[in-house]
């Protein structure tokens, strides 16, 4: 079946740190020019969508905020649907913008209607993690909402822990299972496809993470391409996960799409 839609990961696929992947801008433009439905998926919670739009623009990639599908966007929708109040946010300051207008808990409160965890990076310390733990333990029904389960990512100085290890620590300590609204959770992929009006068997995921992008997308029913940039390691191909294709970079995607996905250059 012809591919109808494509989902792009950002960090490690279109850019690495502050540097664009060579050819990424041209690859994105190819899909835009042919009006092939697409979204940019990212578990990044350290900055709002507006900042990501500016970052991409500086690299020659022109997108709008609506083109970006992020965990905060999905989380806000979930919190509103479940009518959660007094929401405790453990997210970077810039990301709090995505939750403006919701009923948020103050730093000194002893209970919360929901605890939302994002990538705090070096802001994590024992006191912060323990505060999240106490809020979760104070309410038996208080949900732990995770903005993804990514294990780590590649920064300019090397690999860095992402939100996943902290979510798992709180799950273990509290006995609660997190509501995951980011990769690799299948509902995150499904929500993105719903926005595009595409079925899973009509879509392709492009990522650099063999687990969080490729395996997760395949479990959600999509096909997936692994690129040899970002966090890719040759050992990834020995983990029992079989990508539908392995490309040197996203720059090769248009030709692969044309040859293998049944879409002509037009």
pLDDT at 266 over 90: no
Domain coordinates in residue numbering, the chain: 5-43+183-260, 72-180
Question: So what's the pLDDT on residue 150?
Answer: 83
Distance (Å, rounded) from C-alpha 7 to C-alpha 2?
15
Pick the CATH number of 5-43+183-260 from 3.40.50.720, 3.40.50.1000, 3.40.50.2300, 3.40.50.1100: 3.40.50.1000
Question: So what's the pLDDT on residue 52?
Answer: 93
Flag whether the pTM goes above 0.85: no
Question: So what's the pLDDT on residue 263?
Answer: 45
Question: So what's the pLDDT on residue 16?
Answer: 92
pLDDT tens figures, 205-214:
999 999 999 9
In the structure, what pLDDT confidence band is assigned to residue 110 with cuts at 50, 70 and 90?
Answer: very high
pLDDT at 1 over 50: no
pLDDT at 265 over 70: no
pLDDT at 36 over 50: yes
In the structure, what pLDDT confidence band is assigned to residue 2 with cuts at 50, 70 and 90?
Answer: low
pLDDT tens figures, 56-103:
999 999 999 999 999 998 899 889 989 999 999 999 888 888 899 999
pLDDT at 40 over 90: yes
Question: So what's the pLDDT on residue 248?
Answer: 98
Average pLDDT, the chain: 92
Query: Which CATH architecture best describes the domain 72-180?
Result: 3-Layer(aba) Sandwich (3.40)
Of 1, 3, 2, 7, the C-alpha closest to 250 is: 7
């Amino acid at each position: 079946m012809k591919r109808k839609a494509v989902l792009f990961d950002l960090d490690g696929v279109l850019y690495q740190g502050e540097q664009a992947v060579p050819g990424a801008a041209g690859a994105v433009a190819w899909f835009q020019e042919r009006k092939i439905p697409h979204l940019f998926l990212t578990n990044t919670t350290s900055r709002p969508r507006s900042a990501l739009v500016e970052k991409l623009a500086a690299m020659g990639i022109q997108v709008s905020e609506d083109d970006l599908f992020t965990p905060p966007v999905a989380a806000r929708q979930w919190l509103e649907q479940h009518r959660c109040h007094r929401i405790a946010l453990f997210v970077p300051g810039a990301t709090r913008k995505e939750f403006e207008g919701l009923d948020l808990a103050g730093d000194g409160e002893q209970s919360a209607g929901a605890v939302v965890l994002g990538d705090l990076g070096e802001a994590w310390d024992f006191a912060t993690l323990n505060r999240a733990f106490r809020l979760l333990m104070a309410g038996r029904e208080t949900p732990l909402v995770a903005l993804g389960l990514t294990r780590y990512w590649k920064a300019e100085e090397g690999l860095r822990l992402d939100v996943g290890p902290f979510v798992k620590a709180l799950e273990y300590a509290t006995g609660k299972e997190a509501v995951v609204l980011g990769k690799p959770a299948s509902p995150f992929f499904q929500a993105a496809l719903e926005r595009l009006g595409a079925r899973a068997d009509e879509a392709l995921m492009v990522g650099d993470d063999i687990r969080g992008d490729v395996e997760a997308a395949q479990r959600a029913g999509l096909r997936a391409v692994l690129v040899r940039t970002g966090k890719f390691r040759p050992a990834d191909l020995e983990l029992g996960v079989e990508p539908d294709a392995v490309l040197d970079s996203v720059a090769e995607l248009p030709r692969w799409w044309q040859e293998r996905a049944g879409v002509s250059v037009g």
